[in-house]
Amino acid sequence: MAFVPRARHGGTMSGAGTGGSDTAAVISLRGAALSYGERVVWRDLDLDVRPGEFLAVLGPNGAGKTSFVRALLGRQPLSAGELTVLGRPPRDAARHLGYVPQQAELSAQAMVRARDLVRFGIDGHRFGPRVRTGAVRRRVDEILASVGASAYADVPLGLLSGGERQRVRIGQALATDPRILLCDEPLLSLDLHHQQAVTELVDARRRSHGTAVVFVTHEINPVLGLVDRVLYLARGGHRVGTPEEVLTSHALSQLYGTQVDVVRVHGRVVVVGAPDGTAAPPHHPHDADRAHALHETDGVRP
Ligand SMILES: Nc1ncnc2c1ncn2[C@@H]1O[C@H](COP(=O)(O)OP(=O)(O)OP(=O)(O)O)[C@@H](O)[C@H]1O
């Protein structure tokens, strides 16, 4: 039976709650903070993600987007607050998560065939007797077909194009039949056609199974029509809400502590004047702390 995602709800700028849905959250953060040593990457994060919800995680380099995904995967502990995934500690929920990593992590897999990667998704983390080989092979073929990757099932990943490789990685992530799909910059270095193909695959899974999607991206426009809410991380602060609430000149100017203009042109969102842009890493190791201090000085709760 097809899952019908709920209609877009009114999010909150504080980040807690999802506008009164009574469906249990699949991801829940309360007062969550993540630090590396003295460096606070984000803090005071309250967020519930519901089944079938599409959450885009935006922000400049170094804002803590990948760290957020690592926390959900149980690979990075919080420094404060609480995080539950499917009602339990994240590492206990890991087998219910599908993960599409950043493109850059290819080298170790360059010689792995597409079908082997998907197969690893099926039985790679299970203990005990493996499912019968024939059944696994059929399942791998089904998954490869569902992501349009049958034609290159036996080709090593290193020989595939970026778009082909992303299809296979989504296949691997879906092989676990996940309740939550975590995608870390899956559109990076893809052309528009492949960006669309990848987002459609992710959205199809969400619609058919009610899989919640956490989608890290620098570029909101390819997913703008799908996104329920945005988590915008910027230099220690954050905003949570619908795209209409968060992607405004007012909200982003508050978040960055300086004038930022959000312009909508032909249905696309363009952010002008974010001090760090979206490409440059912090110029100075203390920039993040300085930005955070700016917010506090301005009386804005980041
Ligand atoms: N294991 C670690 N130890 C110390 N610092 C880390 C570690 N991992 C990440 N950081 C730092 O934490 C900050 C957030 O990193 P993270 O990779 O989460 O950011 P990001 O928003 O995903 O960045 P990008 O867009 O460049 O991928 C960065 O300043 C990074 O250098």
Protein residue with least CA distance to atom 10, ligand 1: 36
User: What's the rounded Cα separation, in Å, for the pair 169 and 192?
Assistant: 18
| Cα–ligand 1 centroid distance for 183 (angstroms) | 16
Protein residue with least CA distance to atom 29, ligand 1: 62
The residue type at 105: E
- Could you tell me the sign of the dihedral formed by the alpha carbons of 80, 186, 161, 270, in that order? negative
User: What's the rounded Cα separation, in Å, for the pair 161 and 157?
Assistant: 8
Q: What is the pLDDT of residues 245-270, one digit of tens each?
A: 999 999 999 999 889 999 999 889 99
Confidence of residue 104 (pLDDT cuts 50, 70, 90): low
User: What's the rounded Cα separation, in Å, for the pair 119 and 233?
Assistant: 35
Protein residue with least CA distance to atom 9, ligand 1: 67
Q: Is 101 in the pocket of ligand 1 (CB under 6 A)?
A: no
Percent of the chain with pLDDT over 90: 54
Q: Is 59 in the pocket of ligand 1 (CB under 6 A)?
A: yes
On whether the CB atoms of residues 213 and 206 are closer than 8 A, the answer is: yes
Q: Is 236 in the pocket of ligand 1 (CB under 6 A)?
A: no
Q: CATH fold of 27-297, please?
A: Rossmann fold (3.40.50)
Protein residue with least CA distance to atom 28, ligand 1: 62
Q: Is 62 in the pocket of ligand 1 (CB under 6 A)?
A: yes
Q: Where are the domains of the chain?
A: 27-297
Q: What ipTM is given for this predicted complex? A: 0.97
Print burial letters for 226-251: b (CB count within 10 Å at least 16), e (below 16): bbbbbbbbbbbbbbbbbbebbbbeeb
Of 182, 186, 165, 203, give the one whose Cα is nearest residue 75: 182
| Cα–ligand 1 centroid distance for 237 (angstroms) | 15
| Cα–ligand 1 centroid distance for 68 (angstroms) | 10
Residue 22 has pLDDT above 60, yes or no: no
User: What's the rounded Cα separation, in Å, for the pair 200 and 183?
Assistant: 13
On whether the CB atoms of residues 219 and 57 are closer than 8 A, the answer is: no
Q: What is the pLDDT of residues 54-66, one digit of tens each?
A: 999 999 889 999 9
User: What's the rounded Cα separation, in Å, for the pair 68 and 59?
Assistant: 12
Confidence of residue 276 (pLDDT cuts 50, 70, 90): low
On whether the CB atoms of residues 226 and 199 are closer than 8 A, the answer is: yes
Backbone angles phi, psi at 126, to 5 degrees: -95, 145
| Cα–ligand 1 centroid distance for 35 (angstroms) | 10
Tokens at residue 95, please? 């087998």
User: What's the rounded Cα separation, in Å, for the pair 81 and 218?
Assistant: 27
**Alpha carbons within 13 A on the beta-carbon side of 194:** 16
Residue identified by tokens 């042109």 is 265
Residue 119 has pLDDT above 80, yes or no: yes
DSSP state string for 49-76? E-TT-EEEEE--TTSSHHHHHHHHTTSS
Element spanning 171, H or E: helix 162-174
Q: Could you identify the atom of ligand 1 that is nearest to the CA of residue 288? A: 29
| Cα–ligand 1 centroid distance for 64 (angstroms) | 6
Q: Is 129 exposed, middle or buried (0-12, 13-18, 19+ CB in 10 A)?
A: exposed
Q: What is the pLDDT of residues 197-226, one digit of tens each?
A: 889 989 999 999 999 999 999 889 999 999
Residue 93 has pLDDT above 80, yes or no: yes
The residue type at 197: A
| Cα–ligand 1 centroid distance for 63 (angstroms) | 7
| Ligand 1 pocket: which of 45, 58, 65 to mutate (most atoms within 8 A of CB) | 65
The pTM of the full predicted model, rounded to 2 decimals, is 0.82
User: What pLDDT, on a 0 to 100 scale, did the predictor assign at position 130?
Assistant: 55
